[in-house]
Amino acid sequence: MKEMIKITLSLVAIFIAAGIIMGVTYKYTSPVRFIAEKKEKEEALKQMAPDATDPIIPAGTWSSSHGKPYEYYRATSQGKPVAYISSTAGKGYSSFIAMLVSLDPDLKIREVKILHHGETPGLGDQVEDRTLFLDQFKGKALSQLILLKTETKENIQAISGATISSRAVTNGVKDAVQTLVDTYGSGIKSAAQGVAP
Amino acid sequence: MSNVNYGTIIKNGIFGENPVFRLALSLCPAVAVTSGVKNGFLMGVAVLFVMTMVNATVSLLRKFINPKVRIPSYMFIIATWVTVTDLVMAAYARDVYKQMGLYIMLIVAFAIVLSRAEMFASKNKLLPSIVDGAAMGMGFLLALVLLGIFREFLGKGSLWGYQILVSDGKAIKPLLIMILPTGGFFAMGLMMGWLNWIDRKFFGGSGGGGGAHH
């Protein structure tokens, strides 16, 4: 009985000490991290539409099929739209893959950027590889966003060994493009290749 | 242990008891991350740091830790160091964190970290424990880089992301299986056998890699 208490106490002491160390570290690092992440997001937004001269401000919100809210933006240069941007995410193998998607005014994909994810290093994280995967999205329209396991130029080709992560990115991009097409597509239906209703 | 031979500790960590090729510990992460040299290197650096810190802490606290609950205690020390590393890097080393962030949290579950805390740091003074942690981490790093070179070269035709095997200006079609987990085990088995052969042939050892130390 006495030993049981001793063991419990020694474990509790270690846990409390560890908890305090982690808590203090979190307290001092989280504000720095928060500011850095916010700045990175703003810079990423700017990179999505470098030709926009006006500040990019949120134009609205939408919620994805997995129920999370995302923002979309209308990047303009002297009042004229140069790109439509949306944040989005797809559910991958071990995490949500957070992304930004930008469309040209004719609703073709201009750029896809992965902000952060927690996929398996060496397998799932290959979706970040531009030449291997991500650049495939450039210039694609909504109707072309289909993931295939075979070689394709018309659609999106999955990475072998990372199909789930590839699908997550494709679905996330598709959600965002769908939203942007629904929102901004009314005036330019023909460009959306018959997908817009 | 009053007479500690640091040379032996270092040699042990890198060759004699190489975590991957000799002790056959932490094979799962070793297979997962070595599809490229860069991945293997970054993971190795993270492990090197965490192992050194964990060994130092365990060695300092070795008189206070109740032997009956030593494993949970070590686990908590490991988890604390990994979390602290993760938090600090996320705040102050953003660029490195973007490269390595994925690997850091995996280290908590590495058998090699726990096994060095149990087998070495809990029985030795501070300085030898630090050297042991660093040497073992170095051994792990070298093993991952070796595996990474082998697999990336055959599986992608590149090294550290730079395309090497090229024909007509285009990347050739490589042996895809080498970057899949299956290829990881092939590479590891070949590497283990090769090192055992070297050990027998040139150092007169028994070549007991991959199981003899359990």
What digits encode the pLDDT tens for the residues B89-135?
888 888 778 777 777 888 888 889 999 999 999 999 999 999 999 99
A160 interaction partners in chain B (CB closer than 8 Å): 176, 180
CA distances, A195 to each of A112, A126, A144, A156, A180 (Å): 20, 30, 10, 17, 12
ipTM over 0.95: no
Cβ-based contacts of B77 with chain A (< 8 Å): 14, 18
CB pair distance less than 8 Å for A22 and B83: yes
Residue B17: half-sphere exposure toward Cβ, Cα within 13 Å: 17
What are the C-alpha distances in Å from B187 to residues A6, B163, B179, B182?
Answer: 48, 20, 10, 9
Domain boundaries, chain B: 12-200
Residue showing tokens 């909504």:
A142
Chains A, B: CB contacts within 8 A come to 75
Tell me if chain B has a CB within 8 Å of the CB of A118.
yes
Q: Which two tokens stand for residue A102?
A: 């930008």
pLDDT of B206 reads 66
| Nearest-CA distance B179 → chain A (Å) | 8
- A165 shares contact with chain B (CB less than 8 Å): no
Q: Could you tell me if B26 and B19 are in contact, meaning their C-beta atoms sit under 8 angstroms apart?
A: yes
Are B164 and B41 in contact by the 8 Å Cβ rule? The answer is: no
Would you say residue A197 has pLDDT above 50?
no
pLDDT at B79 over 90: yes
Q: What is the mean pLDDT of residues B8-21?
A: 84
Task: Give percent of chain A above pLDDT 70.
Answer: 94
The pLDDT value recorded for residue B56 is 95
Instruction: Kindly give the pairing relationship between strand B170-171 and strand B166-167.
Output: antiparallel
Nearest CA distance, B55 vs chain A (angstrom): 16
> What pLDDT does residue B207 have?
60
Q: Could you state, in order of their start, the residue ranges of all structural domains in chain A?
A: 49-192
Contact B34, B151 (CB under 8 A): yes
Q: How far is CA A65 from CA A102, A113, A184, in A?
A: 19, 20, 20
- Alpha-carbon gap: B213 to the closest alpha carbon of chain A (Å): 29
From chain A, pick out residues whose CB is under 8 angstroms from the CB of B176: 160
Lowest mean pLDDT among A79-93, A143-157, B1-15, B48-62: B1-15
Least Cα distance to B14 among B131, B159, B104 occurs for B131
Euclidean distance between CA atoms A56 and A35, whole angstroms: 18
Contact assessment for residue B50 and residue B82, using Cβ atoms and an 8 Å cutoff: yes
Listed residue (A159, A149, A30, A166) closest to A97, CA to CA: A166
Distance of CA A166 to the CA centre of its chain: 13
* Rounded average pLDDT over A139-165: 89
Give CA–CA dist A70/A145, Å, rounded: 20
Beta strand A156-157 with A147-148: parallel, antiparallel or unpaired? Answer: parallel
Cβ-Cβ contacts under 8 Å, A125 against chain B: 102
Separation CA A183–CA A86 (nearest Å): 11
Q: Where are the beta strands (DSSP E) in chain A?
A: 58-63, 69-77, 80-91, 96-103, 109-116, 147-148, 156-157
pLDDT of amino acid B50:
92
In the predicted model, what is the mean pLDDT of chain B? 84
The whole-chain average pLDDT of chain A stands at 86
* Cβ pair B33:A122 closer than 8 A: yes
A 124-153 residues with CB < 8 A to B: 125
- If one compares A192 and B14, the residue with the highest pLDDT of the two is B14
Interface test with B, best of A25, A41, A127, A130 (most B CBs within 10 A): A25
- What is the pLDDT, as a whole number, of residue B1? 47
Helices (H), A91-191: 163-184
Contact B69 A32 (CB under 8 A): no
pTM, full prediction: 0.74
The better pLDDT of the pair A58, B131 is held by B131
> Contact B69/A30, CB-based, under 8 Å?
no
User: Per-residue pLDDT for A195 more than 70?
Assistant: no
- Residue B170: band (very low, low, confident or very high) from pLDDT cuts 50, 70, 90: low
Percent of chain B with pLDDT over 70: 92
Site from B84, B95, B185 to mutate, A interface, most A CB atoms within 10 angstroms: B84
User: What are the start-end ranges of the E strands in chain B?
Assistant: 158-159, 162-163, 166-167, 170-171
Angle made by CA atoms B174, B180, B183, in degrees to the nearest 5: 80
Q: How far apart are CA B116 and CA A124, in angstroms?
A: 30
Among A7, A11, A33, whose Cβ lies nearest the Cβ of B90?
A33
CB contact under 8 A, A40 and B94: yes
- Give the residue-averaged pLDDT of B148-177: 79
What count of Cα atoms within 13 Å lies in the side-chain half-sphere of residue B114? Answer: 15
Asked if residue A102 lies in contact with residue A94, where contact means CB atoms within 8 angstroms, the answer is: no
| Beta-carbon separation of B179 and A36 below 8 A | no
Structural contact between residues A74 and A64, judged by C-beta atoms closer than 8 angstroms: no
Chain A residues within 8 A of B72 when measuring between CB atoms: 11
pLDDT tens by residue, A157-194: 998 888 999 999 999 999 999 988 888 876 554 444 44
- Select the more confidently predicted residue: B205 or B116: B116
Dist CA B45 CA B82 (whole Å): 13
CA distance A120 to chain B (A): 8
